[in-house]
Amino acid sequence: MLVTDMTDPDWEPIMKKAAAIVTNRGGRTCHAAIIARELGIPAVVGCG
């Protein structure tokens, strides 16, 4: 599980290894949400 404040394209190699993603910032169209959808893994964004 990847837990972070936010993601950007530099995080993609790590995101591909994660079983899920949680971020403090973001919304439905943020980078973490889009990549999670592409990878088919759960994500919770905008928790902070």
**Which residue out of 15, 21, 31, 33 is catalytically annotated?**
31
- Residue 21's identity, in one-letter code, is I
Active site residue 15: no
CA atoms within 13 A on the CB side of 25: 5
Evaluated on CA atoms 32, 35, 38, 42, the torsion sign reads negative
Catalytic residue list: 31
